[in-house]
Amino acid sequence: MIRRCRWCGQIFHPPPNKKGNNMQYCSNTCRSMGYKKHQKQARQQYQKRRANTKITIKNCKWCNKEFISTHSKVYCSKQCKKYALQEQYTRATYNYRSRHGRSEKDLYFSNLGNSNLRQKPDTDFQVESQLIKNELKRLHL
Ligand SMILES: [Zn+2]
Ligand SMILES: [Zn+2]
């Protein structure tokens, strides 16, 4: 079996073993040269991709602060994302409780069961949302 070195183009005979099967260069020198070139290409590609990344100024969906967004980020920080998710969860919980009252089936709700939450959700969303938030804090959710 003969091969052509990927770096210098010379024909070489890889040793007839598993290692030889994967050999693409005639020598260690050629291999490291080829590897360096490969790395350089990879780096160039990466830089090109970075340059193409769209950078836009957006307003954070949570705090409305201006921030530099790459990709499709909509929150300025992890903290804002967390708050937004919490709010979403609170809202979902509220909607669920408005429809079903207290449910023992759901893990979260059964955890909430021994809590300060009343059987029926408060009609005022602000009050209810604060109660749920306190509960989430208490349960470390
Ligand atoms: Zn070579
Ligand atoms: Zn924000």
Q: Are residues 31 and 83 in the same domain?
A: no
Q: Does some domain include residue 57?
A: no
Question: Tell me, what amino acid is at 98?
Answer: S
Q: Are residues 45 and 86 in the same domain?
A: no
> From the CA of 28, how far away is ligand 1's center (Å)?
8
Q: What is the pLDDT of residue 122?
A: 58
> From the CA of 93, how far away is ligand 2's center (Å)?
23
Residues near ion ligand 1 (CB < 5 Å) are 5, 7-8, 26, 30
Tell me the ligand closest to 76's alpha carbon: 2
What pTM, to 2 d.p., does this model score? 0.36
> From the CA of 37, how far away is ligand 1's center (Å)?
14
Q: Does some domain include residue 127?
A: yes
Q: Does some domain include residue 133?
A: yes
Q: What is the mean pLDDT of residues 61-85?
A: 89
Q: What is the pLDDT of residue 123?
A: 64
Q: What pLDDT band is residue 17 in, cutting at 50, 70 and 90?
A: confident
Q: What is the pLDDT of residue 5?
A: 93
Q: What is the pLDDT of residue 139?
A: 64
> From the CA of 109, how far away is ligand 2's center (Å)?
29
Give Cα separations from 43 to 25, 37, 38, 51, 63 (angstroms). Answer: 22, 10, 9, 12, 36
Tell me the ligand closest to 77's alpha carbon: 2
Checking if the pLDDT of 18 tops 90, the result is no
Q: What is the pLDDT of residues 74-121, one digit of tens each?
A: 999 999 999 999 888 888 888 877 777 655 445 454 444 444 555 556
Q: What is the pLDDT of residue 104?
A: 47
| Closest C-alpha among 62, 85, 86 to residue 75 | 62
SS3 52: helix
Q: What is the pLDDT of residues 28-56, one digit of tens each?
A: 999 999 989 889 999 998 888 877 777 78
CB proximity list for 37: less than 8 A, separation 6 or greater: 7
Q: Are residues 45 and 82 in the same domain?
A: no
Q: Does some domain include residue 56?
A: no
Per the model's pLDDT, the better-predicted residue between 109 and 62 turns out to be 62
Q: What is the pLDDT of residue 78?
A: 92
Q: Does some domain include residue 115?
A: yes
Residue 87 structural domain: 78-138
Q: Does some domain include residue 33?
A: yes
Q: Does some domain include residue 65?
A: no
Q: What is the pLDDT of residue 63?
A: 95
Tell me the ligand closest to 31's alpha carbon: 1
Q: Tokens 């300025």 correspond to what residue?
A: 76
Q: Are residues 126 and 82 in the same domain?
A: yes
> From the CA of 29, how far away is ligand 1's center (Å)?
7
Q: Are residues 83 and 38 in the same domain?
A: no
Total number of domains in the chain: 2
Q: Are residues 83 and 123 in the same domain?
A: yes
> From the CA of 84, how far away is ligand 2's center (Å)?
9
Q: Does some domain include residue 61?
A: no
